[in-house]
Amino acid sequence: MAKLWGGRFTKGTDKAVEDFTSSIGFDARMYAEDIAGSKAHATMLAKQGIISEADAKAIVDGLTEIEQAIEAGTFEFSVALEDIHMNIEKRLTDAIGEAGGRLHTGRSRNDQCAVDLHMYVRKAVVHIGELITDLRKAILEVAEANKDVIMPGYTHLQRAQPVLFSHHLMAYFSMLGRDAKRLALIYDYADTMPLGAGALAGTTYPIDQSYTQELLHFGKIYENSMDAVSDRDYVLEFLHLASMVMMHLSRLSEELILWSSTEFGFIELDDAHCTGSSIMPQKKNPDVCELVRGKTGRIYGHLLGLLTTMKGLPLTYNKDMQEDKEGIFDAEDTLHFALSINAAMLRAMKVNGARMRAVLQDDFSNATDMADYLAKKGVPFREAHAIVGAAVQHCIEKGCVLADLSVEDFKAISPIFEDDILDAITIEACVAGRSNYSGTAPANVMRQIENGKKAVRAE
Ligand code: ARG
């Protein structure tokens, strides 16, 4: 097939080279952005008298038909035409003749592919932002529905201190809230228009970039044409965001996997979100969680891959940069599934508060509170720590927990203990006592939930 750039060539492209250099297999995904960008460019060219109004109308109408054909699935993409930009331009020129050949006036594929990707990233940011908000809503719902459930809190995956289950969940709400903020910044980067940069240096035509900016709803225009066609920072920012969200979801997945094991038994995932074993009839596996955890590695790979691709590139456009797309498309798809399935999974899972409570009856999660009791009565905390440590050791030898000791036992450990010691180290007291601003006391967690509701309403 004759190339749109074939003028200076004396022979056709090697088939393997065509296959290797073509990006149509993945960049067809940006067809809507490519068409919108071309329509705006043609409209601007006509307004500036660079092409005629009649040509601009033919271009815009022709592009509308192409868009319809792509959406109807009747558009035939050609590998020989390399990418989405050339596929559309060639089809347009075939359909409308000379006017189609005027579309690329004052423009290069370098600023064209850049403007398409900027618009695509803006759209992806909105898409992912909605899904993050929905997952945050799901977290709020589950936290509120289980606001009285107390669970063991962990450090080093060893039982540490009792916490509200809702407090634990709301930590994820906060993490995802930071991700939502990051998205706003990425939108701002993507919302800068590179069109008008031409190949790298700008254009000799009297184009009106402010007008294309307005038509394409960009917040601003690149100051520097060379930066405009070289910049892939916004793509990297998106991949970083994707890595961060996946890291957060991977940690949640890990906890859901642990909590749904027989050993923990804190939750049960819905059958709809698990799979079985081909050999072991009893199995119900948390495959979704495992895959979210697993796919996180792949998303990190996209970030590291593109960072590495970009690191040695001289200004301005280099074909290496065509590698910017597959990672971001895959990251968007992966985030789409991971965020939406997690929201559904949280909403549908059973929370076994009785089991969480039962394990707390059987451990030393209240040891800090026993030490705090002494410290509040004047014993230096380090000394209190040692006294309680010895008491824990004594209980382990006896095969009991602190709450099994009698008030007399406590008084024998230290004369500072009074009759109220057993009330001071109940599980409820441990939770209620942590009433500082960010602590797990019920009123504070409710404040987090109420503020959270306001935040998602505003998103
Ligand atoms: N498919 C190319 C890409 O995604 C489009 C830009 C090509 N520009 C060029 N001068 N070869 O990067």
Asked if 277 is an active-site residue, the reply is yes
Sign of the dihedral through C-alpha 382, 388, 390, 396: negative
Determine the pLDDT at residue 375: 96
Ligand 1 contact via 133 beta carbon (within 6 Å): no
- The position carrying tokens 């109004």 is 53
Summarize pLDDT for 78-98 with one digit per residue, the tens. Answer: 999 999 999 999 999 999 999
Determine the pLDDT at residue 7: 82
Summarize pLDDT for 404-418 with one digit per residue, the tens. Answer: 999 999 999 999 999
Catalytic residue among 156, 278, 406, 438: 156
Average of per-residue pLDDT across 429-440:
97
Determine the pLDDT at residue 279: 86
Q: Are 212 and 41 in contact (CB under 8 A)?
A: yes
Interacting residues of 267 by C-beta distance below 8 A, sequence separation 6+: 256, 259, 260, 349, 350, 351, 352
Q: Are 250 and 291 in contact (CB under 8 A)?
A: no
Ligand 1 contact via 309 beta carbon (within 6 Å): no
Summarize pLDDT for 115-156 with one digit per residue, the tens. Answer: 999 999 999 999 999 999 999 999 999 999 999 999 999 999
Q: Could you identify the atom of ligand 1 that is nearest to the CA of residue 82?
A: 1
H/E segment holding residue 258: helix 233-259
Determine the pLDDT at residue 284: 87
Ligand 1 contact via 109 beta carbon (within 6 Å): yes
pLDDT band (50, 70, 90) for residue 381: very high
Ligand 1 contact via 328 beta carbon (within 6 Å): no
Average of per-residue pLDDT across 218-242:
98
| Ligand 1 center to 112 CA (angstroms) | 9
Ligand 1 contact via 22 beta carbon (within 6 Å): no
Ligand 1 contact via 324 beta carbon (within 6 Å): no
| Ligand 1 center to 113 CA (angstroms) | 6
In a 13 Å sphere around the CA of 22, the CA atoms on its Cβ side amount to 21
Q: Which residue has the higher pLDDT, 296 or 8?
A: 296
> Minimal CA–CA distance to 285: which of 277, 293, 295?
277
Q: State the average pLDDT for the chain.
A: 96
pLDDT at residue 2 is higher than 90: no
Q: pLDDT exceeding 90 applies to what percent of the chain?
A: 93
Token representation of residue 345 = 């999974």
Asked if 156 is an active-site residue, the reply is yes
Alpha carbons 371 and 382: distance in angstroms, whole number = 9
| CATH code that applies to domain 14-105 | 1.10.275.10
| Ligand 1 center to 322 CA (angstroms) | 6
3-state secondary structure 67-95: HHHHHHCCCCCCHHHCCHHHHHHHHHHHH
pLDDT band (50, 70, 90) for residue 107: very high
Residue among 24, 110, 231, 320 whose CB has most ligand 1 atoms within 8 A, to mutate: 110
Q: At the topology level of CATH, where does 359-452 sit? A: Ribonucleotide Reductase Protein R1; domain 1 (1.10.40)
Summarize pLDDT for 315-370 with one digit per residue, the tens. Answer: 999 999 999 999 999 999 999 999 999 999 999 999 999 999 999 999 999 999 99
Determine the pLDDT at residue 3: 80
Number of helices (H), then strands (E), belonging to the chain: the values are 20, 6
Determine the pLDDT at residue 151: 98
Token representation of residue 320 = 């290496």
The Cα-based distances of 378 to 374, 423, 424 in angstroms read 7, 19, 16
Q: pLDDT exceeding 70 applies to what percent of the chain?
A: 100
Q: Could you identify the atom of ligand 1 that is nearest to the CA of residue 321?
A: 12
Query: C-alpha angle 149/151/154, rounded to 5°?
Result: 155
Q: Are 332 and 128 in contact (CB under 8 A)?
A: yes
Summarize pLDDT for 21-73 with one digit per residue, the tens. Answer: 999 999 999 999 999 999 999 999 999 999 999 999 999 999 999 999 999 99
Q: Whose CA is nearest to atom 1 of ligand 1?
A: 83
Q: Whose CA is nearest to atom 4 of ligand 1?
A: 322
Determine the pLDDT at residue 37: 98
| CATH code that applies to domain 110-148+160-352 | 1.20.200.10
pLDDT at residue 200 is higher than 80: yes
Catalytic residue among 52, 210, 261, 277: 277
| Ligand 1 center to 328 CA (angstroms) | 16
Composition of the chain by helix, strand, coil, percent to 5 = 70, 5, 25
CA 241 to chain centre: 6
Sign of the dihedral through C-alpha 214, 217, 223, 229: negative
Determine the pLDDT at residue 270: 92
Domains in the chain: boundaries: 14-105, 110-148+160-352, 359-452
Q: Whose CA is nearest to atom 12 of ligand 1?
A: 322
Task: Give this prediction's pTM.
Answer: 0.95
For residue 193, the 8-state DSSP code is E
